[in-house]
Amino acid sequence: MRVMRCFLFALLLAVGFPAVSGHAHAAGPEAEPAALFEKAHAAYVAADYATAEHVYRTLIAQGHATSEVWYNLGNTLFHAGRLGEAILHYRRAWLLAPRDADSLANLNLAAQRTGATLPEPGWWSRYAHEASASEWRIILLTGYWILLAAALLAVIAPGFRRFARPVILAALFTIVLGAAGWSYWHAWLRQPEAVVLHGEQTARYEPRTSATPYFSLPEGSIVRIEDTFDAWMKVAAGGKSGWIERSAIEPVYPWQPGGMR
């Protein structure tokens, strides 16, 4: 029984572990981010978008980059007329909460205003977008722990063996489900998205300013980063690939070097 208690404790600890593991910024007192959020919201309501933006960015810099903060920052920038940056932050909100219809709706509206094209997800992407990367990971780990717990119980408690098979099959199914979703996001992060921040940009055949223009990207266009070379990035959009200056775009994934602004 002591072994069982230890195992259950470890199970609870590990399933809860993903919520507190990984890279996390130091959190301040509970009241501080809430107060900052309210302050930013008040500034937003008062149409003081400069203050609202500053406070939301302070929250992000403190490590409270929740989907709500990204979304509200997107709204602030939308009203400030900076549609490219608004699209960037809506996409970041979507990255953390892909089922949130509000961020997707505002993203579409902002893209409609700028004339930007948005990537069309296939059936596989639509499946993976049902949950965030963290959620898929929790599903995967939950299946893993249930699988091993069931196997352990089957070994140490012979009376459990008749229940073990369905539990193990369910756990394996959960693992496959979680691994599929998580692997999608893992691949997504290896070839990350970026957003054209300001004005219409021209993608060129080669990474130099005198190269022949290939196609144009309106403000707010979401592109895939394929390669980098000095101050240039090779991006893909609408089935075409071209080189664009690195300063014109910003990666959607905010934690990579140069990603946070």
Partner 1 sequence: MQVAIENLRRWLTTLAVAFAAFSATAQQVMLDVQPRTMRLNETAVMKLSFVDVPMPQAPALPEIPGFQVHFVGQETQFQMINGRQQHRLSYNFRLQPLATGQFRLGPFTLTVNGQNFDLEPVMVEVLPPANAAGGDGQATIDELVFARLNLPRTELYLQERFDVELSLYYRGVQLDRTIQLQNLPSTGLNLDEFQELGGSRENINGELYDVRRFRMRATAMTAGTFTLDPMVRVHVLVRREQSRDPFGFDAFFGRYEAQPLVVPAEPLAVNIRPLPADGRPGNFSGAVGQFTMDLQVQPTEVTVGDPITLTVTITGRGNLETIAMPAIELGDDFRRYDPKLIASGPQQKVFEQVVLPRTDQLSAVPPVTFTYFDPQQAAYQTIVRGPFPLLVKTGGATQPHLFQTPTVASSSIRQPLGIDIIGPKRAPESWTPVIEPGRATAWPSPLHLAPVAALMVALAVQRRRDALDRDVSRRRRALAPRSARAAIREAEAALAASDPHAFYAALWRAFADYTAHRANLEAGEVSPELILRTFAPALPTGDRDELGVLLAVCDETRFAARSSDHPDAARLKRHLQRTQEWLRAFERISVSCV
Q: Which member of 48, 54, 80, 102 binds partner 1 (CB under 8 A)?
A: 102
Touching partner 1, residues 1-60 (CB under 8 A): 3, 7, 10-11, 13-14, 17-27, 30, 33-34, 37-38, 41, 44
Question: Smallest distance, Å, CB 245 to partner 1?
Answer: 14
Amino acid symbol at 12: L
Question: Beta 222-229 vs 249-251: how paired, if at all?
Answer: unpaired
Measured from the CB atom, is 63 or 167 closer to partner 1? 63
Please count the CA atoms within 13 angstroms of the CA of 253 that sit on its side-chain side.
17
Residue 19 CB neighbours (<10 A): 10
Task: Fill in the DSSP letter of residue 17.
Answer: G
Measured from the CB atom, is 105 or 169 closer to partner 1? 105
Question: Smallest distance, Å, CB 230 to partner 1?
Answer: 21
Touching partner 1, residues 192-251 (CB under 8 A): 202, 210, 212-213, 215-218, 238, 240
Between CA 249 and CA 76 the distance in angstroms is 19
88 contributes a contact to partner 1 by CB under 8 A: no
Touching partner 1, residues 104-123 (CB under 8 A): 104-112, 115, 117-120
3-class DSSP state of 179 = helix
Helix axes 83-96, 101-114, angle to 10 degrees: 160
Amino acid symbol at 163: F
Between CA 216 and CA 199 the distance in angstroms is 10
66 contributes a contact to partner 1 by CB under 8 A: yes
Which residues lie across from 234 on neighbouring strands?
Answer: 227, 243
Question: Smallest distance, Å, CB 253 to partner 1?
Answer: 6
140 contributes a contact to partner 1 by CB under 8 A: yes
Question: Smallest distance, Å, CB 51 to partner 1?
Answer: 14
